Amino acid sequence: MGFYQRQLLPRIIDRACATKEIRQLRPQVMRGLAGDVIEVGFGSGLSLPHYPASVRKILAVEPSLVARKLAADRLAASPILVEWAGLDGQRLTLDDELVDEALSTFTLCTIPDVSRVLAELHRVMRPGGRLHFLEHGLAPDSRVATCQHRLTPLQRRCFGGCHLDRPIDRLLADNGFEVGTLRNCYLKGPKASGYVYAGSAEKR
């Protein structure tokens, strides 16, 4: 992993995922989280201020040491206990049915084997638990989707493996989750990178 991927990219992501629009969407997606929660792709802790008081503990999964350092102030300000729980969501060293719920924000686009991480989240969640998600992905507009497919190889090289064209709702349904609430919209800016899936899906 080079200097850009290791040192600069986590800082770029910290800024890119902290826009006003995304800050408004986070608490909507996180509403109803409770008990022990695993957050895969914890990043720089941008979700921390939006966790409801009903959450007892957060198990944070994050591979970037720089992102963890960027999270320091947010961790210090959080009233909720946060424990580092691993580097790779595809290989969680956690017991089965350990957590009540899960959170993923702008993470399912990047993990190489998205089915594997969803299977791991399914495994560690208790029956009836919900995965709350805020992700960008494949747009329904065929012209936008075509652009997403064309740009994804470049996007992956520049942004740590990020895909623009993953169908988030279908991936969830194919990997043991039943999508309950779902809101789709375009963020301001280029449509190819701004089609959002926001909602929750229950473990089947």
Per-residue confidence (pLDDT) for residue 11, from 0 to 100: 96
When pLDDT is averaged across residues 197-201 and rounded to a whole number, the result is 98
CA distances from 201 to 32, 104, 130, 143, 179 (A): 12, 11, 5, 28, 4
Q: How confident is the model at residue 1 (pLDDT cuts 50, 70, 90)?
A: low
Domains of the chain, with CATH numbers? Answer: 3-203 (3.40.50.150)
The answer on pLDDT for 83 being more than 90 is yes
Per-residue confidence (pLDDT) for residue 2, from 0 to 100: 87
Q: How far is CA 153 from the centre of its chain?
A: 20
pTM of this prediction?
Answer: 0.96
| CB proximity list for 167: less than 8 A, separation 6 or greater | 137, 138
Instruction: Judge whether 124 and 95 are in contact, CB under 8 Å.
Output: yes
Q: Give me 92's structure tokens.
A: 């969680």
Range list of β-strands (E), the chain: 35-40, 55-61, 81-84, 101-105, 130-136, 177-186, 195-203
Q: 93-124, pLDDT tens digit by residue?
A: 999 999 999 999 999 999 999 999 999 999 99
